[in-house]
């Protein structure tokens, strides 16, 4: 194993360096069960091959830290900038996203060598990097953690395509089972503050912290369960247009949507551990915003707003607190709750906060340019790396997306 990934690094390494190497190592650990073929498949255009995630997260450090801040750095392969730039217009042209699954070369082993090359250069550079570059290391760690979650959801989508139903790893039980019946937590009304404080790491879109007004409302103490989702289905929820937003109904008809993404007709669902019985008490997962919204209307409730959720997270739900503390627990580690904890759809558009300022430089493209047609999700999922999330965290996806671990918590006006 490379020196930069030595598990016995000296205790004098900085906390930032410790987290960098732990993050880089975890990505390799996640890839360990995969063959080169597993890691090359792109199950649909919005998902990426595992191999691409491994390379792109290295490209991020190579480009924004090593190229710009390490004098004399030699890229591993000049051509990789075209292959592994995701969406940064300031970094020039790039390979088309829907074609990522066409990259049988470089091989998985070559991508591992690329990672090692970047890690060795980072190790050389760390002690002399300027504060601005260290901030980019922090961003790169958080960026790679986001890709670790995508890695798992994309592998789930990949294996779900295979009639052999391969298993990626074992599943631990959900961290939070349902408490019956649901109870309601009265949220704070009036003016509250949301958003990340000025100190500590947060993505640019979480700032600035600012005041919002909350009308009287209440939030469910837990997420909607699989059993409740089955009731919605049995009651014709997917066949009742009055429950649906117009765009959602059109989407559901066009795509033939009639159940959560990985449910099968025999009462099982496909998971990272292969096909399993659906656990009635676990939170429903792999639903779109459209489905979450229709369910809420069927239940006589609504989706929470981002501000209601965030203010709630500061005060209530030991299960929620546990989830935020754990931030989920990335796969194949034992005891981690691989299935059952989900991101929670809100009704809030992913838009800028008052006074929003994108990060400086090319990384200013990280969040701000996606503030159109996407909804905010709060919390964390079973696939979120430990410690990655926080109450101000703003995950976002288009309303029809459902290959992430997405679920729903209900809200009501009070």
Residue in this structure with the two tokens 């997962």, named with its chain if needed? 285
Burial of 2 (0-12, 13-18, 19+ CB in 10 A): middle
Q: Of 189 and 368, which CB lies nearer to Fe ion in the complex structure?
A: 368
Inter-residue contact 172 to 279 (CB < 8 Å) = no
Spatial CB neighbours of 390, under 8 Å, sequence gap ≥ 6: 196, 202, 324
**Sites of contact with Fe ion (CB under 5 A):** 86
Spatial CB neighbours of 107, under 8 Å, sequence gap ≥ 6: 36
User: Measured between alpha carbons, how far is residue 149 from residues 43, 145, 154, 364, 392 in Å?
Assistant: 16, 7, 9, 22, 18
Inter-residue contact 192 to 214 (CB < 8 Å) = yes
Instruction: Please state the closest distance from residue 143 (CB atom) to Fe ion, in A.
Output: 6
**The dihedral of CA 400, 406, 410, 413: what is its sign?**
negative
Instruction: Supply angle C-alpha 230, 151, 373, rounded to 5.
Output: 65
Backbone angles phi, psi at 309, to 5 degrees: -65, -45
User: Measured between alpha carbons, how far is residue 36 from residues 1, 104, 106, 372 in Å?
Assistant: 20, 9, 10, 36
Q: Of 59 and 309, which CB lies nearer to Fe ion in the complex structure?
A: 59
* CA neighbor of 54 nearest in space, from 75, 36, 71, 66: 36
Instruction: Please state the closest distance from residue 367 (CB atom) to Fe ion, in A.
Output: 11
The rounded distance, in Å, linking the Cα atoms of 379 and 405 is: 11
């Amino acid at each position: 194993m490379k020196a930069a990934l030595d598990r016995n690094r000296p205790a004098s390494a900085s906390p930032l360096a410790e987290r960098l190497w732990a993050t880089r190592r975890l990505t390799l650990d996640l890839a360990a069960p995969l063959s080169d073929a597993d890691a090359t498949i792109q199950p649909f255009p919005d998902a990426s091959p595992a191999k691409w995630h491994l390379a792109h997260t290295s490209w991020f450090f190579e480009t924004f830290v090593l190229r710009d801040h390490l004098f004399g750095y030699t890229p591993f392969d000049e051509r990789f900038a075209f292959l592994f730039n995701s969406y940064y217009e300031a970094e020039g042209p790039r390979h088309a996203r829907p074609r990522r699954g066409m990259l049988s070369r470089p091989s998985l082993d070559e991508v591992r060598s690329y990672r090692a090359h970047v890690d060795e250069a980072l190790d050389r550079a760390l002690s002399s990097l300027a504060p601005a570059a260290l901030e980019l290391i922090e961003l790169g760690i958080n960026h790679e953690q986001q890709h670790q979650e995508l890695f798992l959801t994309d592998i789930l989508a990949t294996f779900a395509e295979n009639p052999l139903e391969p298993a990626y790893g074992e599943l631990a039980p959900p961290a939070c089972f349902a408490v019956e019946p649901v109870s309601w937590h009265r949220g704070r009304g009036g003016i509250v503050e949301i958003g990340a404080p000025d100190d500590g790491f947060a993505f640019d879109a979480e700032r600035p912290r600012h005041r919002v007004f909350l009308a009287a409302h209440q939030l469910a103490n837990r997420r909607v369960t699989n059993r409740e989702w089955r009731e919605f289905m049995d009651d014709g929820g997917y066949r009742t247009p009055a429950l649906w937003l117009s765009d959602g109904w059109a989407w559901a008809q066009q795509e033939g949507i009639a159940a959560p993404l990985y449910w099968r007709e025999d009462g099982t669902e496909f998971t990272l551990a292969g096909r399993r019985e659906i656990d009635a008490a676990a939170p429903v997962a792999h639903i779109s915003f459209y489905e979450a919204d229709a369910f809420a209307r069927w239940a006589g409730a609504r989706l929470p707003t981002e501000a209601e959720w965030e203010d709630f997270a500061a005060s209530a739900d030991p299960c929620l607190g546990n989830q935020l503390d754990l931030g989920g627990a990335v796969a194949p580690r034992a005891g981690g709750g691989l299935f059952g904890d989900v991101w929670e759809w809100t009704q809030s558009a992913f838009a800028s906060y008052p006074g929003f300022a994108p990060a400086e430089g090319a990384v200013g493209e990280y969040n701000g340019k996606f503030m159109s047609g996407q909804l905010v999700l709060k919390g964390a999922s079973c696939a979120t790396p430990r410690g990655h999330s926080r109450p101000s965290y703003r995950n976002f996806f288009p309303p029809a997306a459902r290959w992430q671990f997405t679920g729903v918590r209900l809200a009501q006006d009070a």
